[in-house]
Amino acid sequence: MAKTIRVRGGYELVMGIYAHYRSRIYDYNTRIRDSGYYLKPVHMVYKDVEGRRVKYVYFGRYWYRIYKTKSEGKTRIKWIYVGRDKPEPELPEPPINPLEGIAIIVDGDDILIDARTLEALSQLAKALKQMGLISDALLKGFPLE
């Protein structure tokens, strides 16, 4: 079993990194709206563990088919999960999500991750810092080495 590492204040950093790509994904979903598909880049699961509510966050490509129905004068939306692979080849390629494949456990403002995930987040944070896309304030306390 991999050793778990607690990164204090790490949730803000991870979501700050994700924020740079969220608008690209929103734009992509707007472009493919007429197809009836939707790409969800983040999946969050909440579990009660030992009397505490724990949030698990998974970054990836989660494809859904959206069905709209009318019932009693109201439009209802039904989301049907169709998988992790692009459902139709004619859909344009989705934007790259550098967090794809990363899973974290959120404990308040902290994250619990393994060493491989820490290394991936560190490399990504360094690259974004060099590009001027992430602030020193957001990196405060995050191990970049």
Domain around 66: 5-132
| Closest by CA position to 120, among listed 14, 26, 25 | 14
Q: Which two tokens stand for residue 115?
A: 């060493």
pLDDT greater than 80 at residue 132: no
Q: pLDDT digits over 93-102, tens only?
A: 999 888 999 9
**Which pTM was predicted?**
0.82
- Flag whether pLDDT at 46 surpasses 90: yes
- Number of domains comprising the chain: 1
Residue type, 68: K
Residue whose structure tokens are 């991936």: 120
Residue 125: predicted pLDDT: 80
Q: Is there a domain that residue 138 lies in? A: no
User: Residue 45 and residue 115: Cα distance in Å, rounded?
Assistant: 22
Q: How confident is the model at residue 3 (pLDDT cuts 50, 70, 90)?
A: confident
